[in-house]
Amino acid sequence: MSGISPRDIRGLGATDIAAALRRRELTSVEVTQAYLEAIGAGNAGLGAYLTVDEQEALAQAREVDARRAKGEELGPYAGVPVAVKDNISTRGLRTTCASRILENYVPPYDATVVARLRQSGLVVLGKTNMDEFAMGSSGENSAFFPARNPWDPSRVPGGSSSGSAVAVAASLAPWALGSDTGGSVRQPASFCGLVGVKPTYGRVSRYGLVAFASSLDQIGTLTHDAAEAAALMGIISGYDPADSTSVPEPAPDYPALLGREIRGLRVGVVREGFGEGVEPGVQEALRRALDVLAGLGAVMGEVSLSMTTYALPAYYVIAPAEASSNLARYDGVRYGLRASNRSVTDMYGRTRQAGFGPEVKRRIMLGTYALSAGYYDAYYKKAQQIRTLIKNEFSSALQSYDVLVTPTAPSVAFRLGEKAADPVQMYYQDYFTIPVNMAGLPAVSVPCGFSGGLPVGMQLIGRWFDEAGLLAIAHAYLETTGWHRFRPEPAVSVAGEAR
């Protein structure tokens, strides 16, 4: 045994853990056990995990330790644990999408990103909670139980990658994978004080990601700092012939590029980021962050992205339309829940009624309506035309600037139930993140301070396939400010919420 306490292990972060493993100061079993113990103590109060794979995780850890003891050459992060969002397929491990309709589904294959994690020797701790089928901005739409923000368990952690963000922020995992369709990595990163990366569409394989909106979905990362994000992005990025939307573009060495020069970088501050609806505390934190970037030598300017005003309504036509098509496969025939055997029609209706939650049903109905005869041109086609205009506006702005900056979310984490009865107010939480998905651009949410004791996130938006540039800016900013070093107090169980 190393003599390092489990709490100290969990305070190290993924990069430090990897270094300690390579120096033989820790074993993967010790590290994995430390996180499993933390999950056992804290998960009931925070709702981070839906499934914990304790036996398999320890078996993976023992295998890494045995290979290291034999002197085998291992990946630099071999033996480091990781959490995986529960809409990413894991062979032999339950993948529910936080939905009753897939409550007992066990995939026969790994998603490409999970296969790459395993090939690199990472230890999968389990599957994290989420808004059902990734449809939500708070973590409250899980069919099983809500996730809670470790900075204040009476508040939401953001969504839909809620459990992944909670797991990392509460030190129940050193890092995690999420998915981002309209802000589902970046918004919870903002609410929980983390670095959240949404890569360029096509940079990371979607093979094995359970589809919500196929033209928008992208797997991303949640970490404490930019160096860890660079390392995890390096593991999961790259071309995959199993994904027809994967771009045959070689992934750069992200960690090696963290030292890219910031001085002289052209930063476009998006005017709409200081408009109506953005909380004063968020605006103030963002202004201070911009002053830091200017102090690092960045050349600041202002830009308006007027077309992004239409991104929210266009998204809520396109994404539900694609969801309507993708979720048609859950019919009780092939896999998942089957609620009736009386007739095929009855089975379809009862299965979907029992299996889907209210938000999923709402979006399926919206999407089906938008695609129906007589409404396709008025809604879906028009939304796609707006999407093209948004993409063109971003392209024009990124010719003048190297990076664009907005708040990640217009507010800090709100209270559980506060917006549940008003879907429009809930949807507005993704106002600044949705346009990025519509254009297929990369973006990173970076912690940039606090408002009322709760984290605030700054969103950095870059050119297509320039995740390395964004991570370099994030790294320079965080090394200057140290916002990534702030952690919430250790989680305690919330009365009545034990699971």
Tens place of pLDDT for every residue, the chain, 499 residues? Answer: 567 888 899 999 999 999 999 999 999 999 999 999 999 999 999 999 999 999 999 999 999 999 999 999 999 999 999 999 999 999 999 999 999 999 999 999 999 999 999 999 999 999 999 999 999 999 999 999 999 999 999 999 999 999 999 999 999 999 999 999 999 999 999 999 999 999 999 999 999 999 999 999 999 999 999 999 999 999 999 999 999 999 998 899 999 999 999 999 999 999 999 999 999 999 999 999 999 999 999 999 999 999 999 999 999 999 999 999 999 999 888 778 888 777 888 888 888 888 899 999 999 999 999 999 888 999 999 999 999 999 999 999 999 999 999 999 999 999 999 998 898 899 999 999 999 999 999 999 999 999 999 999 999 999 999 999 999 999 999 999 999 999 998 644 333 333 3
Query: Helix, strand, coil shares of the chain as percentages rounded to 5?
Result: 45, 15, 40
Total count of domains within the chain: 1
- Look at strands 81-85 and 123-128 and give their pairing: parallel
Q: Is residue 344 part of a domain?
A: no
* H helix intervals, 296-327: 311-326
Distance CA 40, CA 10 (A): 14
Q: Is residue 147 part of a domain?
A: yes
Q: Is residue 368 part of a domain?
A: no
Distance CA 328, CA 312 (A): 24
Active site residues: 85, 160, 184
Q: Is residue 302 part of a domain?
A: yes
Distance CA 348, CA 359 (A): 19
pLDDT of residue 335: 79
Q: What is the pTM of this model?
A: 0.96
Q: Is residue 270 part of a domain?
A: yes
* Full strand arrangement of the beta sheet holding 443-451: 49-52, 123-128, 81-85, 176-179, 219-223, 195-198, 443-451, 454-462, 403-407, 266-270, 299-303
pLDDT of residue 2: 66
Q: Is residue 362 part of a domain?
A: no
DSSP lists the bridge partners of residue 415 as: 155
What number of other Cβ atoms are within 10 A of residue 250's Cβ? 9
Q: Is residue 372 part of a domain?
A: no
Q: Is residue 288 part of a domain?
A: yes
For residues 77 and 235, the answer to whether their CB atoms sit within 8 Å is yes
Q: Which amino acid is at 3?
A: G
Domain that holds residue 220: 6-307+392-485
Supply the CATH number for residue 44's domain.
3.90.1300.10
